Chains A and B, each alone.
Chain A
Amino acid sequence: EPEVTQTPSHQVTQMGQEVILRCVPISNHLYFYWYRQILGQKVEFLVSFYNNEISEKSEIFDDQFSVERPDGSNFTLKIRSTKLEDSAMYFCASSPKGQGSGANVLTFGAGSRLTVL
């Protein structure tokens, strides 16, 4: 069964450093997402990406965050200058559906755990 793969599985970084989390969505999917889950809290939406641009973002997704699809297979989340509160599990997801074409079923990756010291 096709799956979304994420790397690294765990990254430890110093506060203020840049971090790039990588994702390979399912190949025929059109929508890509990043979610995060701070330890002990709910899974929160960060951003969705379609047709090479951000389609929606949450208030969490501030100027410190950026996403990119640098090639035909990868989808990355960059945190420019990490803060302690960025420590979380970051989930990438993808879905096959386009706008207005019905229910959106996301397939999630296993997550990248980011620890900011």
Chain B
Amino acid sequence: AQSVTQPDIHITVSEGASLELRCNYSYGATPYLFWYVQSPGQGLQLLLKYFSGDTLVQGIKGFEAEFKRSQSSFNLRKPSVHWSDAAEYFCAVVPSGGYQKVTFGTGTKLQVIP
């Protein structure tokens, strides 16, 4: 069955530390991949997306993600976390080639400590 998995429900990092949030997918073909962020009480904001080409994609707010086909992964990274990055992060996929619905992972809640 097609699925997207975020194995970490909750992550705590110190401000200034590096961050990596994991995302794995299970689809027949490489889907289109996205990361969204949801700040408390806010909607879903697109951080970055991968369709094809360069496997390292840059997004807003200093985030980047790397697509690794061999691992079916699309992990989100940031070299130095800021307190304002505290939020919930959702990996999402759309089957390639289509307009189909977005399927979200269960989310990873990021806590940033001083």
A residues with a Cβ closer than 8 A to B are 31, 33, 35, 41-45, 48, 50, 56, 58, 91, 93, 95, 97-111
Contacts and interface: CB of A to CB of B under 8 A. Distances in A.
Contacts of A93: 102
B103 interface: yes
Contacts of A56: 100-101
Given A110-B43, A111-B43, A99 B99 contact: yes
Contact of A104 (B42, B94, B104, B106): B94
Nearest to A89: B43
A101 B44 CA distance: 24
**Chain B interface SS verdict (over half):** loop
A109 B104 contact: no
B44 A43 contact: yes
Nearest to B43: A110
B102 to A, nearest CB: 6
Interface residues of B, number: 24
B44 A108 contact: yes
Interface in B63-114: 90, 94, 96-107
Contacts, number: 64
Contacts of B105: 42
A50 B100 CA distance: 11
Contacts of A33: 101-102
B101 A43 contact: no
A105 B101 contact: no
Contact of B43 (A44, A45, A98, A109): A109
B27 interface: no
B92 to A, nearest CB: 8
Contacts of B36: 108
A93 B36 CA distance: 13
Given A100-B99, A102-B51, A105-B49, 20 more contacts: A33-B101, A35-B104, A42-B105, A42-B106, A42-B107, A44-B104, A45-B102, A45-B103, A48-B101, A58-B101, A97-B99, A100-B97, A100-B98, A103-B32, A103-B96, A104-B98, A105-B46, A108-B44, A108-B45, A110-B43
